[in-house]
Amino acid sequence: MPLFCSGKCLCPTRKLCSHGQDQKWHDKQYKKAYLGTALKTNPFGGISHAKGIVLEKVGVEVKQPNSAIRKCAGVQLIKNGKKKNHCLCTLYGCLNFIEENYEVLVAGFGHKGHAVDDIPGTGIKVVKVDNASLLVLYEGKKERRRSSVLMVKTQQ
């Protein structure tokens, strides 16, 4: 049986190939990779970390059956201006090192941007505060700078 036919025989090669090309687009991962919408909707724009400015400190209540208040920070990304309301501070007491208008480095947290464990809407964690790692600040190996507050000029 020939691989390419003149159209007079019952060779199904062309039909199978074109049907296979059509069916690729029904695959979720293929469509996500080749349409480019994953990069458009991703707040980081395809990179692993991004810098942002802290807007506020937030306490997020966890889902049932747990009961706690997780300490988070509301961050606006410098790169594209997108606001992320819940960026988790992972270590105990690390929210004390974060103040409003500080520059922080945030990274993805767990399931590709989706919520992790019992914390609704939190897919990002804070990694650095003013170019100092949260882990180093938590362990006391480094002091937080006092004069690092960002000054915003208002036009009068």
The answer on pLDDT for 113 being more than 80 is no
Which of 32-41, 55-64, 115-124 shows the highest mean pLDDT? 55-64
Looking at per-residue pLDDT, the higher value among 42 and 35 belongs to 35
Average pLDDT score, the chain: 83
User: Which pLDDT does position 26 carry in this prediction?
Assistant: 94
Euclidean distance between CA atoms 82 and 44, whole angstroms: 9
Q: Are strands 132-133 and 103-108 parallel, antiparallel or unpaired?
A: unpaired
Which of 3-12, 85-94, 112-121 shows the highest mean pLDDT? 85-94
The answer on pLDDT for 115 being more than 90 is no
Pair of tokens at residue 115: 């919520």
The mean pLDDT value for 111-129 works out to 84
> pLDDT-derived band of residue 7, with 50, 70 and 90 as boundaries?
low
What is the separation of C-alpha 147 from the centre of its chain, rounded to a whole number of angstroms? 29
User: Which stretches of 21-82 are assigned E, i.e. beta strand?
Assistant: 49-61, 69-77
In the chain, the largest separation of any two C-alpha atoms, in whole Å, equals 83
The mean pLDDT value for 88-97 works out to 89
Euclidean distance between CA atoms 153 and 151, whole angstroms: 6
- pTM for the model: 0.72
The answer on pLDDT for 82 being more than 50 is yes
User: Which pLDDT does position 123 carry in this prediction?
Assistant: 86
